[in-house]
Amino acid sequence: MIRTTLFPGRYIQGAGALGRLGEELARRGKRHLVVASPHPLEHLLPTVAPQLDQAGTVHLERFGRECTDAEIERLLAVAREFGAETVTAVGGGKTLDTAKAVAVRAGIPVAVVPTLASTDAPCSCICVVYTPDGVFERADILPRNPDLVLVDTAVIAKAPARFLVSGMGDALATWFEADSCRVSRAPNIAGDAGSMTAHALARLCYETVRDWGLLARSACEARVVTPALERVVEANTLLSGLGFESGGLGAAHSIHNGLTVLPGVHGLWHGEKVAFGVLASLFLTDRPAALIDEVYALCAALGLPTTFAALGIDGVSEADLARVGEKACAPEESIHNEPVEVSPALVAASLAAADAEGRRRARA
């Protein structure tokens, strides 16, 4: 059996790490295209302008807000006209994904600088493409992972704590899904079995969020960097990224995708919906009662949704739950990696059970 593990070229994290960006870019070329979301373009990059100038010639470009084919082509044209030798993205997930796609098409290195720890996308080779209206279109698997991932935890700590908590919700799924793929021998993103390394990192991801998540949230609320915050940012970004990509996905993310058919959840962040997908998957996969208790207690303490009401779908009908189950069980979904029977009806039942357990705990 062949096992494949996917990694970014280099991962750098810590308070003040943004000051290393110029030095890192200089190692990779002399002409650098930097694509940034509006806020970091105006408020963050000016603080490191002298260091960037030392890297060579830098062209700053504002990101067009959506990762679309048109935006990828626009930025590719900018990169070619400028003669870029690297592409750097500074901002949220859509900015990072766009830059990854541009770099692959241009055949040059890519550096990603996330300004939030709300997703495990920075280390991955996946680019999620949307329509101009922001509707999901497809997920492209690119031929390589980012050459550099640079995470400044002082920047992360200044963002609202809800972003960090959402990232923990996404990270919660990492071990449960990778463990299911290990048992069922389902493939990871590369199409091969996950390695021992990937599964160990996925387990560490869950343990880190479980043990340090509340302290990290407190630090973020105080807008300060502490060892707990550093641990959780690494779990949300590096451990979860390596775990999902090299370990494999399962029911939680498919249930997330199924929930998107309900308008009520559209105001929630990705990780918040994934977290409820984890709770439902615990019932679907018949996890031990002690583990279910542990995960519910953690989600409640962090402020992640544990009921339909918290998801924005209180009073959801059986027909709507059936629609969620149908989408979650679509042929291309990762729920089929689970080592148990899956069906739309079983997903709907697991969602109802997860909500009922959350409501019971709220009353206790």
Catalytic residues: 170, 253, 256, 270
Could you give the CA distance from residue 148 to residue 21 in angstroms, rounded to a whole number? 10
Asked if 116 and 44 touch (Cβ cutoff 8 Å), the reply is no
**How far is CA 163 from each of CA 156, 205, 272, 337, rounded to the nearest angstrom?**
9, 17, 10, 28
Could you give the CA distance from residue 149 to residue 234 in angstroms, rounded to a whole number? 11
Asked if 255 and 281 touch (Cβ cutoff 8 Å), the reply is yes
The region, left, alpha or beta by phi > 0 then psi within -120 to 50, assigned to residue 286 is left
SS3 110: strand
Task: Label the pairing between strands 136-141 and 126-130.
Answer: antiparallel
DSSP per-residue letters across 142-187: -SS--SEEEEEHHHHTTS-HHHHHHHHHHHHHHHHHHHHHHHHT--
Could you give the CA distance from residue 226 to residue 218 in angstroms, rounded to a whole number? 10
Task: Label the pairing between strands 57-62 and 86-91.
Answer: unpaired
The residue type of 89 is: A
The Cβ of residue 9 has, within 10 Å, a number of other Cβ atoms equal to 14
Specify burial of residue 75 (Cβ count, 10 A radius: 0-12, 13-18, 19+): buried
The Cβ of residue 136 has, within 10 Å, a number of other Cβ atoms equal to 11
